[in-house]
Chains A and B, each alone.
Chain A
Amino acid sequence: MTATAERVEETRTRPASGPGSRKDGWIRRAPLLPALIFTIIVTQLPFLITIWYSLQSWNLVRPGSQRFVGLENYGTVFTDSQFRGVALNSVLLTLGSVAIAMILGLAIALLLNRAFVGRGIVRTLIITPFLITPVAGALLWKTVLFDPTYGLVNFVLGPFGAGQTDWVSTFPRTAVIIALVWQWTPFMMLLILAGLGSQPPEVLEAARMDGATGFAVFREVTLPHLRRFIELGVVLGAIYLVNTFDTIYMMTQGGPGTASANLPFYIYQRAFLGFDIGESAAMGVVTVVATIIIATLALRLIFRSFSAAEEA
């Protein structure tokens, strides 16, 4: 009904009233506009201003230093070897955390996808890290768990020779990834578990009737079915993890040096500790462009998943 109405609307002149008229169009649009306008103002304007700032030389420490310099800041950003290191860190931290969390989440979801005593309790226990305020989680890992002398991790690993390892300063990136994986595995598990739950049992049964072994069923039937859930988890996880700030701020402050800084933390440092508005804006723009390129590819995936879901 709607499909035909819309097609008519496109090809013929609009009726004065009723479905397809200009008035009807606005009535349909009206509920959308407040949210749309609000989102455009709050999220898009700042980016436009960022672009403008990125073309200025402007350091808050030197009052009156604001002047137009064109693309000079971008030159500085691209020749900044620290920026390149930090960009690489961003990629490593994001990909590492997403990949490990997804693999663990998948394994745990499979483990939980069967009836057993206390299944609900186990699921509740596992989702808890996702609910914990990330700042509290980071603080917990940095101090109580990773403390070289009194930390629980070294106590548990003591018999294996970990002894007095200062995880946060010796392996800052690994420490951050561990905290992030702990926090995001539950999210991945929940998604996959939902995916497993939506799997029609008849298909599995049929596959087994045909004599497929457990692993073959998993590879040929379950994994393809889970694909869009895995894609969704990877995309959503990546969106949030690439923006990770709290965990790094609380655990390592990006250090030592910039060894564990990612782009959000580095830009924050340049803007709020270095007061370099122009340069940090340019870094922001570079980050946005890079993210748009990656996100466009990712969105293609997610959109294909969603349209497939709606057709089904």
Chain B
Amino acid sequence: MTAVADKTTSAPPTSPARPGKGRGTGALLTVLAWIVGIGFFFPVLWMVMTAFKTEAQAYTVPPTVFFAPTLDNFAEVFSGGVGPYLLNSVFATVVSTLLVLVLGTPAAFALSLRPVKKTQDVLFFFISTKMLPVVAAIVPIYVVVNYMGALDNIWTLIVLYTAMNLPIAVWMMRSFFLEVPKELLEAASMDGASLWRSLREVVLPIISPGMAATALICMIFAWNEFFFAVNLTASRAATVPVYLVGFITSEGLYFASLCAAATVAALPVVIAGWIAQNKLVQGLSFGAVK
């Protein structure tokens, strides 16, 4: 037992478990992996469970584990007006992601398959915009947007979310473009295909999984964005994260409805991320992994 425990701490496995090595170690590591997995997930599970409790059940010591689930909290969240916030979030997320793809795909193309001069400099510029703290821009953005009468306007958020995600998208899509075999493109142009046609028929099918990964990551960031939303919107254009702010004031009273609201806010992205997790891995590593 101690020997096994020692092994887990001193020798992390670096690859699929070697055959012939102690089965006990393997089983122990599997159990450990499951414990870690459940541990990370547990706060989320608890949030969802609490969302289905009554307020009284949400406030018991020891915590209530078995209970008859109720939908009251969700009903309350929806009748309490989360609807417009959800719509704003969906609209801002979808439109900004589309804009990112429209602007970013050609840019990534220009930086990969038919590279412009100074590609490295342009790439550097794009990623450097992510290095600058957003907070240093919020004051002028607020003043300018206010001057233009565009405070509390969903299009303001869309423009900012597009700018926020564009650099990441350009980087990611460039790395996907680079994976397109040069021979395929050359063969297409030999066959007399125009650039546009070979793009559409050769390149796009190859990079479309990459574009999907890029879109997914842009959507996650846009859906979860809070800083611009809370500072530049009030009532008409506020998004779901802003809706949740209302709960910090009433926190001591409504655990269950708070959890229902948080679940509604988090669920779309969580489900999308679960479905597309392989793409997520690929996308997050900027396709640096081949």
Interchain nearest-CB distance for A265 vs B (Å): 8
Interface size on A, residues (CB 8 A): 121
Q: Are A242 and B43 in contact (CB under 8 A)?
A: no
Q: Are B37 and A115 in contact (CB under 8 A)?
A: no
For residue A134, which residues in chain B have a CB less than 8 angstroms away from its CB?
A: 224, 226, 241
Q: Are A249 and B230 in contact (CB under 8 A)?
A: yes
Q: Are B115 and A28 in contact (CB under 8 A)?
A: yes
A281 interface contact, C-beta 8 A:
yes
Stretch at the interface among A75-83, A135-143, A169-177: A135-143
For residue B230, which residues in chain A have a CB less than 8 angstroms away from its CB?
A: 249
CB neighbors of B among A220-278 (8 A): 221-222, 228-229, 232, 239, 242-243, 245-246, 249-250, 263-264, 267-268, 271-272, 277
Q: Which residue of A lies closest to B47 (CB)?
A: A140
For residue A131, which residues in chain B have a CB less than 8 angstroms away from its CB?
A: 220, 266, 269-270, 272-274
Q: Are A232 and B288 in contact (CB under 8 A)?
A: yes
Q: Are B110 and A32 in contact (CB under 8 A)?
A: yes
Residue-wise, chain A 164-208 has the 8 Å CB interface mask toward B (1 for contact) of 000000000000000000100111001101111111010010001
Interchain nearest-CB distance for A233 vs B (Å): 9
Q: Tell me which of B34, B58, B262, B277 contacts A118 (CB under 8 A).
A: B34
Interchain nearest-CB distance for A235 vs B (Å): 9
B111 interface contact, C-beta 8 A:
yes
For residue A123, which residues in chain B have a CB less than 8 angstroms away from its CB?
A: 37, 277
Interchain nearest-CB distance for B77 vs A (Å): 12
Q: Are A149 and B61 in contact (CB under 8 A)?
A: yes
Q: Are B44 and A284 in contact (CB under 8 A)?
A: no
Q: Are A246 and B104 in contact (CB under 8 A)?
A: no
Given A31-B109, A288-B132: A250 and B248 interface contact (C-beta under 8 Å): yes
For residue B46, which residues in chain A have a CB less than 8 angstroms away from its CB?
A: 144-145, 152
Given A129-B40, A218-B12: A116 and B26 interface contact (C-beta under 8 Å): yes
Q: Are A113 and B14 in contact (CB under 8 A)?
A: yes
Q: Which residue of B lies closest to A42 (CB)?
A: B163
Interchain nearest-CB distance for B231 vs A (Å): 6
Q: Are A25 and B37 in contact (CB under 8 A)?
A: no
Residue-wise, chain A 287-312 has the 8 Å CB interface mask toward B (1 for contact) of 11001100100110011011001100
Given A140-B262, A144-B47, A277-B143: A186 and B40 interface contact (C-beta under 8 Å): yes
Given A35-B107, A204-B14, A214-B11: A190 and B280 interface contact (C-beta under 8 Å): yes
Q: Are B134 and A182 in contact (CB under 8 A)?
A: no
Interchain nearest-CB distance for B27 vs A (Å): 9
Residue-wise, chain B 262-283 has the 8 Å CB interface mask toward A (1 for contact) of 1101100110111001001110
Given A34-B106, A264-B227: A107 and B127 interface contact (C-beta under 8 Å): no
A68 interface contact, C-beta 8 A:
no
A126 interface contact, C-beta 8 A:
yes
Q: Which residue of A lies closest to B38 (CB)?
A: A125
A217 interface contact, C-beta 8 A:
yes
Given A39-B126, A277-B143: A291 and B131 interface contact (C-beta under 8 Å): yes
Q: Are A232 and B269 in contact (CB under 8 A)?
A: no
For residue A122, which residues in chain B have a CB less than 8 angstroms away from its CB?
A: 33-34, 36-37
Q: Are A108 and B36 in contact (CB under 8 A)?
A: yes
CB neighbors of B among A23-72 (8 A): 25, 28-32, 34-36, 38-39, 42-47, 49-50, 53
Q: Are B241 and A246 in contact (CB under 8 A)?
A: yes
What are the 7 closest A-B residue pairs judged by CB atoms, nearest first? A284-B136, A31-B106, A214-B11, A49-B140, A122-B37, A35-B107, A295-B131
Given A246-B226, A302-B127, output 20 extra A-B contacts at Cβ < 8 Å.
Answer: A35-B104, A46-B140, A46-B141, A49-B140, A53-B139, A114-B13, A114-B15, A116-B17, A126-B40, A133-B224, A133-B241, A139-B262, A140-B262, A144-B258, A155-B63, A229-B285, A242-B133, A243-B134, A271-B138, A306-B286
Q: List 10 A-B contacts (CB under 8 A).
A: A28-B114, A34-B106, A115-B17, A124-B274, A140-B43, A190-B284, A194-B289, A196-B15, A242-B133, A284-B135
